[in-house]
């Protein structure tokens, strides 16, 4: 699945106007669009009808989007589903936390329609090409992360780098400079004693991640 027209997308947001806007934006763009204001109902739905991509609000009255994402990534039946956060939060720490809990992208409200569609297409294409299990298992293995002493920025950059993003894209998504991202990647590679993205993915597989 690597095209929007063949994708099933689930959007979770407790703001009716946002769900209405997403419906207008995407209903004719994808194979199936499911909008849900109740996160618990959406989680139950995902056990039987698994979307190709999830659009998830963070600040909801009954649920926290970060916690919902963690539940999705902790469930073997849903951990492979890529999550794009949609939020009015715009600070670097908010975005980094989104990547730490397993999100693959972070779009700030109010959002541009063309940008959202472009990012969804990019996510679907990237997710098809990159081995998801390696990403998810790498990030959720606490002993592994503790052994290498990753900080929150390294975790976010590691997640995005394994997911196939370029340094310039990682810099944009984390609100860091490209030189800073380059420096963090150098630290990550030194900790793993590797020199490339391919070696990083292979390293994760060798260690049973």
What are the Cα distances from residue 182, in Å, to 77, 79, 174?
34, 28, 13
Token digits of residue 139:
């990030």
Model confidence over 117-174: pLDDT tens digits? 998 998 887 766 444 444 445 455 555 566 777 777 787 888 788 777 888 888 888 8
Could you give the CA distance from residue 7 to residue 85 in angstroms, rounded to a whole number? 18
Residue 2 has pLDDT above 60, yes or no: no
Q: Mean pLDDT for the chain?
A: 82
Alpha-helical runs (H) found in 47-165: 65-74, 92-100, 113-129, 132-140, 142-148, 152-162
pLDDT band at 1; cut points 50, 70, 90: very low
pLDDT band at 35; cut points 50, 70, 90: very high
The predicted structure's pLDDT at residue 34: 93
Check: CB of residue 32 under 8 Å from CB of residue 10: no
The predicted structure's pLDDT at residue 85: 93
The predicted structure's pLDDT at residue 129: 46
Asked if the domains at 4-129 and 132-206 fall in one CATH topology, the answer is: no
Token digits of residue 21:
């806007």
Which of 14-18, 23-27, 33-37, 89-93 bottoms out in mean pLDDT, i.e. has the lowest? 89-93
Q: Regarding the domain delimited by 132-206, which CATH topology (the fold level of the hierarchy) does it fall under?
A: Arc Repressor Mutant, subunit A (1.10.10)
Pick the closest to residue 161 from 200, 202, 194 (CA basis): 200
Domain 4-129: CATH class, spelled out = alpha beta
Q: How many residues does the chain have?
A: 209
Average pLDDT over residues 9-18: 92
Could you give the CA distance from residue 86 to residue 106 in angstroms, rounded to a whole number? 6
Domain segments of the chain as ranges: 4-129, 132-206
Could you give the CA distance from residue 192 to residue 195 in angstroms, rounded to a whole number? 9
Pick the closest to residue 82 from 141, 163, 174 (CA basis): 163
pLDDT band at 209; cut points 50, 70, 90: low
Model confidence over 38-73: pLDDT tens digits? 888 898 888 888 899 999 999 888 889 999 999 998
Classify residue 33 by burial, with Cβ atoms within 10 Å: 0-12, 13-18, 19+. Answer: buried
Could you give the CA distance from residue 74 to residue 102 in angstroms, rounded to a whole number? 10
Check: CB of residue 73 under 8 Å from CB of residue 136: yes
């Amino acid at each position: 699945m690597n095209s929007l027209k063949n994708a099933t997308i689930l959007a979770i947001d407790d703001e009716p106007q946002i769900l209405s806007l997403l419906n207008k934006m995407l209903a004719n763009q994808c194979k199936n669009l499911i909008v849900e204001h109740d996160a618990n109902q959406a989680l139950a739905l995902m056990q039987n009808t698994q979307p190709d991509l999830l659009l998830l609000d963070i600040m909801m009255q009954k649920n926290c989007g970060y916690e919902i994402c963690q539940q999705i990534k902790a469930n073997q039946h849903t951990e492979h589903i890529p999550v794009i956060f949609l939020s009015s939060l715009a600070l670097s720490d908010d975005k980094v936390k989104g990547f730490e809990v397993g999100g693959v992208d972070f779009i700030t409200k109010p959002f541009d329609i063309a940008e959202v569609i472009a990012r969804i297409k990019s996510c679907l294409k990237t997710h098809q090409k990159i081995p998801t299990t390696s990403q998810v298992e790498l990030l959720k293995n606490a002993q592994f992360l503790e052994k290498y002493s990753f900080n929150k920025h390294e975790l976010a950059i590691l997640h995005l780098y394994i997911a196939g993003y370029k340094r310039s894209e990682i810099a944009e998504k984390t609100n860091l400079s490209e030189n800073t991202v380059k420096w963090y990647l150098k630290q990550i590679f030194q900790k793993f004693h590797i020199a490339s993205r391919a070696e990083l993915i292979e390293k994760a597989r060798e260690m049973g991640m």
